[in-house]
Amino acid sequence: MGFLLADAVTPWMTTWHDMFHQDVWFVEKILRSIFIYVFLLAGIRLGGKRELAQLNAFDLIVLLLLSNTVQNAIIGNDNSLIGGCIGAATLLVLNYVMVRFIHKHRKLDRLLEGRPEVLIRDGKIDKQHLERELITKAELVAAAHKQGIGSLHDVDRCVLEPNGTITFIQKRPTPEGARHDEIMAALSKMAEEIRILRGNAPAGGAP
């Protein structure tokens, strides 16, 4: 009976040991997480805002592979549950502290996140800024289509935000253009009414 009880308890003891036993000192786990956080922050900043925008499949692949690439660097030889919680908690706390610190220091915020880049100004594409951010016109058109804009000719201003979001501001009709559209709509309505009246008129005169 004792052997059967020992055989039943042993797997549970092994499972609990594997889940909570750390093969890496917790201080090392914290330091690893901090180093990777700083490295990724600097890498994405140097890589440009288009990485965050994910304009094509290559950008998406890079971001997906980054998580797998740095995973071992964070956890080391430790696969325990406690080790994972320590690494995750370190990243969350570090990000919270970083966000609050940057919020109070706007100059540092601009240094780390960068400035918005105007890609289209007054309806004209800024090719120099496109080249700087390594964005093609086709990628810009695709981004406009995602926001329901049929053509770049309808865009007055386009901005690549520091967080990678591409913002489009469509052109607004001028007062002259709006007046012209109203007149054309009124003429079209009058033409339609005249056509209906002609269609309802009798074919011959009264006897």
pLDDT in tens, 109-128: 777 777 888 998 888 888 88
Residue 206 reports pLDDT greater than 50 = no
Structure tokens given for 153 = 């000719």
109 within 8 A of 53, measured Cβ to Cβ: no
Domain ranges of the chain: 12-113, 115-198
CA distance 111 to 81: 36
Residue 1 has pLDDT above 60, yes or no: no
Reference 136, options 68, 50, 70; nearest CA is 50
d(C-alpha 201, C-alpha 194), whole Å = 11
Under a CB-based contact definition with an 8 Å cutoff, are residues 78 and 85 in contact? no
Q: What is the pLDDT of residue 93?
A: 92
DSSP for 32-44, written as a single string: HHHHHHHHHHHHH
> Mean pLDDT lowest for which of 5-9, 81-85, 110-114?
5-9
Q: 3-class DSSP state for residue 92?
A: helix
Question: What average pLDDT does the chain have?
Answer: 78
63 vs 129, residue with greater confidence: 129
Model confidence at 6: pLDDT above 60: no
Tell whether domain 115-198 is in CATH 1.20.120.450: no
Q: What pLDDT, on the 0 to 100 scale, is given for residue 20?
A: 63
